[in-house]
Structures are given as C-alpha cells and as structure tokens.
Structure 1
C-alpha cells in the first residue's frame, strides 16, 4: 500500500505507457487523471479490459483510453489502447503511479497515544489516536499504526508495515516487513484448546506465538490464534481475506491466498501457492500440498497430497429439484445394496 501522497493532477497516455513499459496505439497526448469502470468513466479516466467479452462495454464507455490484453486486435474509434500481458497488474501499477490511494494521511505520534518508555521506535513511525504500545515493543522504520490499536508487550513489527484502526497484537507476536493489517485484525489470541474432565472444560495454556512473514496482508476482522506449544506461522506473501479464523499451530505456506469466511482448524498445514476459495472449512491436523486450489464452500476432511483443483460444495439448484435430489441421496445406500445383490445373482 503506497504511503498517502497528493495525487498527480494529470498525465498523458504516452507518459503512462513509458512508465509501465507498454506499447500503445492511438492518441498519446490524451490526458489521464484517474481510473474507472466502464459505466462511470469520463474522458480523463483510464479503464482496463480483462476479456474480450466486455468489448461492448468498452465501446460504449466514455473513457478515452484502456489497457487491453496483448492479443486484442480490434480498433475502437476514439479509444487509445495500451497493450499488456497482464491488464489487471498494469491497472494496479497505474493506480500507484497516479497516487490515487488516499489512505490515512495522519503522520507523527498522536498526543493521546500511550507508548511504553521501553518501546523502540524506528524512523518516521506514525501512531494514531488512542493506540497503546506495550513494553519492549519494536517498531521498524516507516511503520504506520492507526487509531485505537493495541500492541502488547514484546511484539516486533518490521519496516514499512501498516496497521489500520482497532488492530490488536497480543504479546510476543513477530511481524515481518511490509505487512498490512486491516481494521479489527487480532493476532495472537489463545487458541481453542480445552481438556474435558468430569463434566467441565479445563483451558489449555497456550505457550506458542504467531509469526507473520514479509508482504503479508490480513483482512478485516480476521483472527490468527497463537500456538499451544509451537508457533502459528504465516509465511511470506500470504494474502488472507476478511473474517477468517486461523486456528492454533496452523502453518500457511508462501504466496497462498485465502478468500473470506474460511475456517482453518488447529495444526493444519497449507502449502505454498494455494488458492482457498470462500467459506471453505479445513479440518484440523491435515496437510494440503503446494499449488492446490479448493473451490468455494468445500470441506477438507483429509490430506490433499497432489496439486490440482478440489471441490465438495453442492451447487445451487431450484428448490424443488434440491428436495427431490436430497430424497434420492438418502436412498443411495439402499440402491447400492440392490445393485450389489443383482450383480451377485447374475
């Protein structure tokens, strides 16, 4: 996430193409001020075309320029086209170049912040109103702490990390460089560890911590529990969406992306470069190989040992059909026995 700056007023298509190292066809002097979707674009907006199936929307748009795939071979009157191998990525680069992201413009340390005298703050650290920085906390250079954040004792935060409002980091958590934590994130709360004895639940003390690698982003209201004995680990480049539960002792490999409302039970291991879609449930003490995609609403009940795409969710269907299918589903065991008996009697 860029440090908030004043946005650029105007640039030209030719300048953008040079900065992004893209070829273009059309009017290079056309001025660009911002980015937009097709329906709300104005003459000074840049759009992007992910797929040719949206070409009619591009033709009808008021934008004067668009980023398109390299294999796009149509000419659209009145539109300057910039050609990219990855239009989505180029669009992000345009946003950064134009400094369109506003973010929190506050700087310095707010007078209401409470900072332990034993804390060590790097250069150019920002701490928002009502935030609390505990004993022996270490904040790297250019760290930005938002409003009402709690950083408990012995936490380490790497350089260029940004925490938005109401983030809670429990004691002894280690966080890498360039980490982004969205509002309401909690790192290092106790995991769900209990022992049942004579009609009562006894809490298991959690002695581990949470370790977050570099360039990790964690979405709003996501919780990552500390380990019972070993640490909960999230490796470099992991992207975690909103409202996700990461249980104690979970290990998530590099560059894995996890969409919203996923639940990961304790001690599961997810490999590198995985894609976990929304509302997936992952049972505890499982292992998922590298380069695995799990589609939405699936429930992972056993180890996944080979890379590939896996599904278990039930697709939506018309209600009456679903009821009929459910009745048939309940009859599958009886049907299987009938088929087995028929085969035996051949």
Structure 2
C-alpha cells in the first residue's frame, strides 16, 4: 500500500492545498466510501449534500466550491482530472512481469532490452523487439518482426501478429488481437478466394486497447492508430482504418474497412460505421448509432430508436409500416389539388 502526505499529493497533481498537509493518504474512493486515509472528489455541485457525512481525509474541489467541505481540500479547476492524477500517484496495480523468466519462449534473434520484463509462458518470436521497461505477461504472443516500444504493458493472452509496430507507453489488455487478417476475399463464380493481407498495424504512443478488441492488419497499406487513442473492450477495427489522435472509442463499436476517424472524436457504445467514409475532427456519435456516410463537420450525431414501452413500440411500428402508403396518398392529394387550382383558373 502506498502512502503519501496531502502536501506532496497536492504538489504532484497541481492542486492547491487547504488544510493539514501532514495528513497521510493511502488511496482514493467515492464520497460515501472514503475514510480518513482516502481522497475523494466532487465535480458536480448537485452531489454536494453528500459532503455533510463525508469522512475523507481530503476532497478535491473547484476553488469556488471550497466552502462546501469543512475538512481539508485540494483545489483544482478540473477536479475529475486531478482525481485521475491522484489515482495514478496512489495506484497499486501490480506489475504483470518482473525480470525475464527463464521459461519464457524468446527467439535468439529477438532484441530484448535488459530492463524489459517478460513473464513465464510469454512468446517473443524471431526478429521481434521489446523496448526498455516494457512488461509482457504470461501467455502473451509477440509475432515475428513486431516492435514493442518503451514502457508498454501487454497483458496475459494478448496477441500481436507479425510485422506490427507498437509505440511507447501503450497498454494492450488480455485477449486483444492486433494484426489479424482483414476480411479480404475475391469472388470466383461463387467461390471466395482469400486475398493475403500484407499491410501492418501501426500503433503510436500512449494508446490503450481494451480486452478482446480486434484490430485487422491492412490489405496493402497499414491500419493506423494514432497517438493518445483510447479503445475500450470488444471493439472491431477493420483493415486500412485510420483512427487519428486522442479519439476515444467505447465498447462494442464496429467499423468497416478504409474508414478514417478524425482527431478528438468520441464513439459511444455499440456505434457501427460503414467502410470508406470519413469523420471530421471533433465528431461525437451517441450510442448505437449507425453511420453510413461521411460526417464532414464537427458536432454530435445520433440515430436509432431509444427504448420505450413494448405497447408504444408496437403502435409506432404499425404506423411506420403505413408510411409508404401515406406518402402515395399525399402525392395523389397534391396532384388533385393542383388540378383543382388549374380548373379554377
């Protein structure tokens, strides 16, 4: 368990301390769960009433909310960001590998930095590179000529196929598959002929990829995941896709090939994207939307039908089935009205 004084924590997260700087802190918690050795935060004033019974050693608050808590405070313009930094400082997540295990499967031609950590049962193939301080967990697979940068974490049973490239400070969670073949086939009189996928997956620095996510290698050119991108669990990214810097993709998103996602976009859970389309920078798509064409301007986009009662849904479905006939009837009425006006003239 890590322990740190409030004064030091304030300095490390860039907050202003109001209270006892000698108080020792060993973790973070929510407002109801926090005890006298924990830090919590308040980002929304509507939860301020919870502070009356809060037992935390300190609360991270906006400066204008300082009077809401009688105990020690850490004042920050963005309390949620300050909380994230505090959680990093106090993080107790164990290393996934320590040193290089004697029973790891490492090809003699692989280049392993002396400070890298490779667990028992991990596989590093011929020509692969593992950078300084990176951790490769048990069961992880690093394919031929694949490069893993510095300070990366590859969790258990994650797979990086051959000729892929991973930048510095990346996290690949368990079950993720990087560099599997894209869905490429040519049709020969009803028979599907496989097209070898010879591109790579190139992932830049500070990217995190969730568990059981799959990113296909390019057909000819590379699939590209730019720096700072965050990808949740169970996401599918097809061949030749490019996801630009600092975009965040939530769980269950699927995207077809050769799609471009701009900078700082957010795709909420379950979004589906057609292939060969482009999303501009700062596009935000809400959950379970279906994007079938390019979105050339920044903004928030939605589609789909929100859940309602079954009775209302059935009633609306009946009405929807009548749209075509209603359209035809309106067109006929418009025609009759036009004829009537002509006869009057």
For the criterion TM > 0.5, the same-fold answer is: yes
Indicate the residue corresponding to 2:2 in structure 1: 8
Q: 83, 89, 96: which one pairs with 2:88?
A: 96
Q: Distance in 1 between matches of 2:206 and 2:94?
A: 18
Q: Gaps spanning 5+ residues in structure 2: where? A: 338-345
Secondary structure of 2:9's aligned partner? helix
Q: 23, 26, 35: which one pairs with 1:42?
A: 35
Q: Distance in 1 between matches of 2:279 and 2:13?
A: 37
Q: Distance in 1 between matches of 2:214 and 2:296?
A: 27
Secondary structure of 2:80's aligned partner? helix
Greater C-alpha radius of gyration: 2
Q: Write out per-residue CA displacement over residues 233-281 of structure 1, whole angstroms, 9 at most, x where no aligned residue.
A: 1111111000111101111111111000100111111111110110000
Kept after mapping to 2: 8 A contact 1:51/1:69? no
Q: Distance in 2 between matches of 1:315 and 1:123?
A: 54
How much does 1:165 deviate?
0.6
How much does 1:76 deviate?
2.7
Aligned CA-pair RMSD: 1.6
Q: 68, 72, 80: which one pairs with 2:72?
A: 80
Q: Write out per-residue CA displacement over residues 157-216 of structure 1, whole angstroms, 9 at most, x where no aligned residue.
A: 111111011111111111111111011111111111112222322111111111111111
How much does 1:73 deviate?
5.1
More divergent stretch after superposition (56-65 vs 316-325):
56-65
Q: Distance in 2 between matches of 1:238 and 1:201?
A: 34
Kept after mapping to 1: 8 A contact 2:101/2:119? yes
Q: Distance in 2 between matches of 1:157 and 1:16?
A: 32
Q: Distance in 2 between matches of 1:112 and 1:129?
A: 5
Kept after mapping to 2: 8 A contact 1:43/1:62? yes
Q: Write out per-residue CA displacement over residues 288-312 of structure 1, whole angstroms, 9 at most, x where no aligned residue.
A: 1111001000001011111111000
**Whose helix fraction is larger, Structure 1's or Structure 2's?**
2
Secondary structure of 2:109's aligned partner? coil
Kept after mapping to 1: 8 A contact 2:2/2:27? no
Indicate the residue corresponding to 1:314 in structure 2: 305
C-alpha spacing 1:25/1:75, structure 2 compared with 1 (3 Å):
farther
Indicate the residue corresponding to 2:342 in structure 1: none
Indicate the residue corresponding to 1:340 in structure 2: 331
Indicate the residue corresponding to 1:291 in structure 2: 282
Q: Distance in 2 between matches of 1:300 and 1:66?
A: 41
Alignment of 1:4-153 (within 5 A): 7-9=1-3, 11-72=4-65, 74-77=67-70, 79-98=71-90, 100-104=91-95, 106-153=97-144
More divergent stretch after superposition (25-34 vs 276-285):
25-34
Using the size of structure 2 for normalisation, the TM-score is 0.93
Q: 228, 246, 249: which one pairs with 1:237?
A: 228
C-alpha spacing 1:125/1:310, structure 2 compared with 1 (3 Å):
same
How much does 1:55 deviate?
1.2
Using the size of structure 1 for normalisation, the TM-score is 0.93
Alignment of 1:93-242 (within 5 A): 93-98=85-90, 100-104=91-95, 106-242=97-233
Aligned residues: 337
Q: Distance in 1 between matches of 2:66 and 2:250?
A: 34
Q: Gaps spanning 5+ residues in structure 1: where? A: 1-6
C-alpha spacing 1:321/1:159, structure 2 compared with 1 (3 Å):
same
How much does 1:285 deviate?
1.2
